[in-house]
Amino acid sequence: MGAVLRGLNNPDLGWAKTDNLSLGIDMGFWKNRLNISFNYYNNITRDLLTNYDLAPSTGFDSQTMNSGELQNKGFDLSVNVIAFQNIQQQFYWTIGANANHNKNKIRKISDFLRKINEAQLASRKAPLPTLQEGYSTTTLFTVPSLGIDPVTGREVYLTREGKKTFTWNPVDKVPVGDTNPDLSGTINTSVNWKDFSCALIFTYRFGGIVYNQTLVDKLENSSIARNLDRRAMNSRWEKEGDVTRYKKFVLGGDETPQSTRFIMNDNELKLSSLNIGYRMRNDNFAFLRRLNIDVLSLNFTTNDLLRLSTIRMERGLSYPFARSYTLSMSILFK
């Protein structure tokens, strides 16, 4: 009988502990034509468990350690209303919406995490997740940018002391926002009239930020040997006095480092689903009775029909935005 060691022993490892606080209320008005559900939560986890990569010379890939303390709080709100109903005419219109708000804050981190943060804060490329006490796990830290100097075509940075400089320095990085949205959720509505039905579902998110890597790769650090953004040719600085968003082109120059120039608000509204249906009954259609069919239902569904966003960027390794259309039919025989 053999045994395999799965991890390196850590005698200081302890159990993670979580204190949970949750308050909720459900309300109904006007014979439940309006229903509201609200839930608030505030959770604090101490002695978080994290796997850290180890050097191959140890013989193990990673070791589990207690890494700190995290507070996670927010609320969930759901509202559903029967906007209109006429039982005699068999007409019903319903509207529903939900909203989610979640924010976390790092209350304490281990010394090991502090060392990892030092390496990540020195990075010139896209902002990496940086865990610092007092901020969320999704806060972005980068160097403030004042834009492109019209005289030289170079990017102007702002130091921690409030001075202008052409030199990028990682010590000038500051928190610039959170990639986690302030509010996200769905909005849905449905209309039913006799045997017709129509339903729409919208999804939204507002209040977050994103680092637009597309602008960096396809415009600032573009190469004629690869795909280019059209703005690489007509939106760059070219001569003294040009007021542009993008720096001058320097053959063989240094790659553009990260800065707030590429931080954008990430707001999105999307029509996620549209469904239209019609149900045919045999008491209304003679051909159904001849075929011994009780109910024949037709449904048309489309997904991702509309998307409105404050940014335009490539999807990277994610699937591209694509609409889908589905036509279905179901038959219920007697």
Whether residue 3 lies inside any domain: the answer is no
Please give the sequence-ordered ranges of beta strands (E in DSSP) within the chain, or none if there are none. Answer: 17-29, 34-46, 49-53, 62-66, 68-86, 91-109, 139-142, 145-148, 155-158, 164-165, 174-178, 183-193, 196-211, 263-281, 293-309, 324-333
The DSSP symbol for 236 reads B
Whether residue 323 lies inside any domain: the answer is yes
Whether residue 8 lies inside any domain: the answer is no
Domain that holds residue 104: 17-333
Distance separating alpha carbons of residues 129 and 13, to the nearest angstrom: 24
Q: Whose structure tokens read 């889908």?
A: 324
- What pLDDT does 1 receive? 67
Encode 89-99: b = buried (16+ Cβ within 10 Å), e = exposed. eeebbbebbeb
Distance separating alpha carbons of residues 236 and 245, to the nearest angstrom: 7
- What pLDDT does 227 receive? 66
Whether residue 6 lies inside any domain: the answer is no
Q: What percent of the chain lies above the pLDDT cut of 90?
A: 48
- What pLDDT does 136 receive? 93
Whether residue 65 lies inside any domain: the answer is yes
- Tell me the three state secondary structure of residue 41: strand
Whether residue 62 lies inside any domain: the answer is yes
- What pLDDT does 41 receive? 96
**The total number of structural domains that make up the chain:** 1
Whether residue 110 lies inside any domain: the answer is yes
Query: What is the CB-side half-sphere exposure of residue 235 using CA atoms within 13 A?
Result: 12
- What pLDDT does 327 receive? 93
pTM, 2 dp: 0.81
- What pLDDT does 33 receive? 93
Query: What are 188's two structure tokens?
Result: 């849905």
Segments of the chain scoring below 50 in pLDDT: none
Whether residue 29 lies inside any domain: the answer is yes
- What pLDDT does 224 receive? 64
Query: How confident is the model over 56-113, as pLDDT tens digits?
Result: 777 777 778 888 889 999 999 999 999 998 988 889 999 999 999 999 999 998 887 8
Q: In 23-133, which ranges are continuous DSSP H helix?
A: 111-121
